[in-house]
A and B are shown apart, each in its own frame.
Chain A
Amino acid sequence: MEHGHEIGSHSLAHFAGLTFNMDTLIMTWITMAIVIVLAIAATRRMELRPRGWQNFLEMAVMYLLEQMETNMGSKGQKLAPLIITLFLFLVVGNELGLIPGFTSPTNDINTTLGLALMIIVIVHVLAIKNKGFTKYIKHYFEPYIPFVVINIIEEVAKPITLSFRLFGNILAGEILLLVLGMLVPYFVPTLWLAFSVFVGIVQAFIFTMLSISYLSNSMQDGH
């Protein structure tokens, strides 16, 4: 069970004064490669009548676009590549860890917090761009000045909850899969594996939907 040692502990690499979790990075690159291959395979010979993988991808993309349209309006279209990529990356990444010998890039807090912070930075940049700097700042002191504390806690909580939810679910899923595999082999781990597939999709979906929701808040002119 050498696979068990990989979870939680990382093989480290040092570069330019920074430490990198090499296994996470490798799994990320594998995920990226799979996503790219799938996306290009789906869009290589695009047809008006979708077939096979194109159909599946289109379904997911259409759903995300629809969600963005209802939450953000037409302004959200510019963020569509980001959101779609986020969803595909998370789905593939979450499911990758279920394959023996692989781990999910999303079982590393660095990945999930990185993505969450990126989303939050975009949220704030868009908010400043849309509302103007003074209005953006004023927004934190509404409805009354003391609310600034609550508002800031809320803003800080956003990336933390976003990243820890995904990280926790995926890491716990993988750990439990291994533990169950050792305790009650075959049947129970298989059930848990099937459930983890579902969890992986759901968590990717939640992360994406919350990102859309946060982004849509900063897209609105009012407030």
Chain B
Amino acid sequence: MVELNGTLLAQIVNFLLLVAILAKFAYKPLMQILAERQKKIADAIDAAECERREAEQLKLEYKQQLVEARSKAQVIVENAEKLAEENKEEILKSARAESAYILQKAQEEVARERELALAQLRSEVVALSMAAATKIVTEKMDTELNARMVSDFIEKLDDQKIGGLPC
């Protein structure tokens, strides 16, 4: 059963022959494909890493842009608020000016109306006075004295009642 003979040498030769055959026909293409695949995998990993880094960079950029956009929006809103405030002030100011102008106009109107009334009143008074004077004078005095008295009367009337308006 356990008996050494020439088979031993034959087996070594057989095996070495097998090694030679496999090395020539199978081992080389196998190694080639393995190396190729290894290279491909390494390349893929490198590419993935590169892409990941790029994506990260992009993300960072987008974040920054978002922050910028936010701050810009803030500025715009603030500006709009300021503008509205300014507009409000302006509108109020013009409204105040308008109201002041209208008030002034009204006062002026009132004053003019008053003046007109006074002028009418004065002419009435003169006529009345003239009538009264004529009555008195026809009874007691001559025409000269009469005119002077009327004039005096009017002067006094001016100073005391109307306030220095020339007639």
Contacts and interface: CB of A to CB of B under 8 A. Distances in A.
Interface residues of A, number: 46
Contacts of B25: 36, 39-40, 43
| B contact patch SS | helix
Interface string B20-40: 011101110111111011001
A84 interface: yes
Given A48-B33, A111-B11, A42 B4 contact: no
Contact of A18 (B2, B9, B22, B26): B9
A100 interface: no
A108 interface: yes
Interface residues of B, number: 33
Nearest to B37: A48
B153 interface: no
A31 B139 CA distance: 177
B8 interface: yes
A28 interface: yes
B6 A109 contact: no
B14 interface: yes
Contacts of B9: 18, 114
Contact of B18 (A15, A25, A58, A85): A85
B23 A81 contact: yes
B138 interface: no
B160 interface: no
B58 to A, nearest CB: 31
A18 B5 contact: yes
A21 B25 CA distance: 29
Given A15-B6, A32-B17, A43-B29, A114 B23 contact: no
Contacts of B27: 80-81, 84
Contacts of A35: 18, 22
B10 interface: yes
Contacts of B32: 46
Interface in A1-50: 8-9, 12, 15, 18-21, 24-25, 28-29, 32, 35-36, 39-40, 42-43, 46-48
Most chain A beta-carbon contacts within 10 A, residue among B11, B32, B36, B37: B11
B30 A19 contact: no
A42 B29 CA distance: 10
Given A43-B25, A85-B22, A114-B10, 8 more contacts: A20-B10, A36-B25, A43-B29, A43-B33, A46-B33, A47-B33, A58-B30, A118-B15
Interface of B: 1-12, 14-19, 21-23, 25-27, 29-34, 36-37, 40
In the A-B complex, the 3 residue pairs with the closest CB atoms: A18-B6, A110-B7, A39-B26
Interface of A: 8-9, 12, 15, 18-21, 24-25, 28-29, 32, 35-36, 39-40, 42-43, 46-48, 57-58, 61-62, 65, 80-82, 84-86, 88-89, 105, 108-111, 113-115, 117-118, 171
